[in-house]
Amino acid sequence: MGTRHMKIQLAKAALCGSMLIAASFGANSAHAATANADAKARIITQVSVAKVAGQDLDFGAIVPGASSGTVTIASTGVRTCAAALTCSGTTSAAGFSISGASGETVLISSAPSVTLTGGAGSMTATLSPSISTLVLDGTDGFTVGGVLTVPSSVAAGSYSGQFNVTVNYQ
């Protein structure tokens, strides 16, 4: 009976210990806190950009001089011709239209330069957009002007090249 009594006492002790552990886990759960949060998404119209028909970056007609010079087309389309060159003809800055979600801000960039090839060689123009950011309002656009370096040894002919512009939501 002594051994049996000892086994019963051990069983009771084990049971009490298990209950004490279970009670302590339950006590921790009583102090837990929870919170809720909302998940949201706002879908907006994809932004797009298109060249305005007939509005390319046009440096006009240029007669090279005894030394190299530059022709600048401002974002307004106004030309400035270096003294070493003779410039004539119609000029324009490249024009682009933007469509997207009204009230959203877009970032505008262009390639840093464009190479014009033709005749028997090439010339490079650095490019500059008229603006770098814009808040869309439905009638949006921008222009790209540039500075063309004209070497004195450039051959006669028509020169052209293409460049990219990029518009992204901020």
What pLDDT does residue 20 have?
47
Measured distance CA(63)–CA(140) in Å, rounded: 36
Average pLDDT over residues 70-92: 97
Task: Return the closest-CA partner of residue 134 out of 142, 122, 125, 126.
Answer: 142
- How confident is the model over 131-151, as pLDDT tens digits? 999 999 988 999 999 999 999
Q: Quick check: 24 pLDDT over 80?
A: no
Residues in Cβ contact with 110 at an 8 Å cutoff, skipping those fewer than 6 apart: 127, 128, 129, 144, 163, 164, 165, 166
Query: What sign does the CA torsion over 18, 24, 29, 30 have?
Result: positive
Q: Identify the DSSP state of 138.
A: S
- How confident is the model over 46-79, as pLDDT tens digits? 999 999 999 999 999 999 999 999 999 999 999 9
Residue 47: burial class (beta carbons within 10 Å; 0-12, 13-18, 19+): middle
pTM assigned to the model: 0.77
What pLDDT does residue 164 have?
98
What pLDDT does residue 3 have?
54
What pLDDT does residue 30 have?
74
Please provide the average confidence, as pLDDT, over all residues in the chain.
Answer: 89
Straight-line distance from the first to the last Cα atom of the chain, in angstroms, rounded to the nearest whole number: 85
Q: Quick check: 6 pLDDT over 80?
A: no
Q: How confident is the model at residue 10 (pLDDT cuts 50, 70, 90)?
A: very low
What pLDDT does residue 86 have?
97
Task: Return the closest-CA partner of residue 44 out of 100, 84, 2, 112.
Answer: 100
Q: Identify the DSSP state of 102.
A: T
Task: Name the residue with higher pLDDT: 166 or 18.
Answer: 166
Q: How many CA atoms lie within 13 A of 121 on its CB side?
A: 10
Q: Quick check: 8 pLDDT over 50?
A: yes
Task: Return the closest-CA partner of residue 132 out of 151, 110, 114.
Answer: 110
Average pLDDT over residues 89-107: 97
Please state, in angstroms and as integers, the Cα–Cα distance from residue 31 to each residue in 20, 22, 24, 34, 64, following that order. 17, 15, 11, 10, 85
Task: Name the residue with higher pLDDT: 45 or 25.
Answer: 45
